[in-house]
């Protein structure tokens, strides 16, 4: 059972590290392509929670009654996507050597071509993950409901999901999310009217 939801930057290093693992898992196919050592990648993600204007800087972390990390939700207005992605990429590039940075830049350019745009004016879900031990417990549905409530001043909500992630697509479908935009790219955009 979720007992609290807090800003990731309010957590201690150990809890942020756990949350970083979930942030990594929520975008696994992208992070796998970066070909960075796991400890380096997790350190970068853990410190990104503290970097203003990055994607992860607005992450909320769900904790159970024993204050263990059970999930992460990162969301912001879709108008901020480009700026937050640029800040995130800058944070990443400034944390790795030049050879790795060159690889990341090339891969990021290719990745961008497989992602359709999100609807303008929507509240955008950038990261969403629940620990494996809590899947099927109802925690994900509760966290998604919290995302919807945070979006109440927006007309729509939106997110991207990898086409190969059938489990996530099924979950989002149960939450009322429908395809939006092109369906022939690596990522699908899903949205719902509030």
Dump pLDDT digits (tens) for 106-116: 999 999 999 99
pLDDT in tens, 64-108: 999 999 999 999 999 999 999 999 999 999 999 999 999 999 999
Q: Which range marks the domain in which residue 56 is found?
A: 2-193
Distance CA 189, CA 145 (A): 19
Structure confidence at residue 183 as a pLDDT band (50, 70, 90): confident
Strands 59-64 vs 2-7: parallel, antiparallel or unpaired = antiparallel
Q: How many domains does the chain have?
A: 1
Please report, for the domain that includes residue 147, its CATH number: 3.40.630.30
Amino acid 132: pLDDT = 94
CA 22 to chain CA centroid, Å, is 9
| Among 58, 52, 27, residue whose Cα is nearest residue 42 | 27
pLDDT in tens, 129-174: 999 999 989 999 999 999 999 999 999 999 999 999 999 999 999 9
Region 29-51: mean pLDDT is 96
- Kindly list the distances between the CA atom of residue 105 and the CA atoms of 5, 30, 49, 86, 143, in Å, as whole numbers in the listed order: 34, 12, 21, 11, 32
Q: Whole-model pTM above 0.85? A: yes
Distance CA 166, CA 22 (A): 18
Amino acid 4: pLDDT = 96
Distance CA 75, CA 56 (A): 9
Amino acid 189: pLDDT = 98
Give one DSSP letter per residue of 83-127, joined into a string. Answer: HHHHHHHHHHHTTS-HHHHHHHHHHHHHHHTT-PPPPTT-EEEEE
């Amino acid at each position: 059972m979720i007992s609290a939801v807090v800003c990731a930057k309010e957590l201690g290093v150990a809890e942020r590290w756990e949350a970083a693992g979930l942030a990594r898992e929520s975008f696994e196919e992208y992070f796998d392509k970066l070909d960075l050592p796991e400890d380096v990648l997790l350190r970068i993600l853990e410190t990104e929670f503290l970097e203003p204007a990055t994607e992860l800087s607005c992450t909320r972390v769900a904790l159970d009654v024993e204050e263990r990390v059970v999930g992460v939700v990162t969301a912001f207005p879709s108008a901020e996507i480009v700026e937050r992605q640029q800040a995130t990429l800058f944070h990443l590039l400034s944390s790795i050597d030049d050879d790795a940075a060159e690889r990341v830049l090339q891969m990021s350019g290719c990745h961008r071509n497989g992602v359709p745009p999100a609807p303008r004016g929507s509240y955008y879900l950038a990261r969403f993950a629940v620990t494996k031990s809590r899947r099927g417990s109802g925690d994900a549905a509760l966290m998604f409901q919290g995302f919807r409530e945070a979006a109440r001043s927006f007309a729509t909500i939106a997110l991207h999901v990898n086409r190969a992630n059938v489990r996530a697509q099924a979950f989002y479908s149960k939450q009322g999310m429908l395809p939006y935009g092109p369906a022939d790219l690596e990522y699908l955009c899903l949205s719902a009217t509030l």
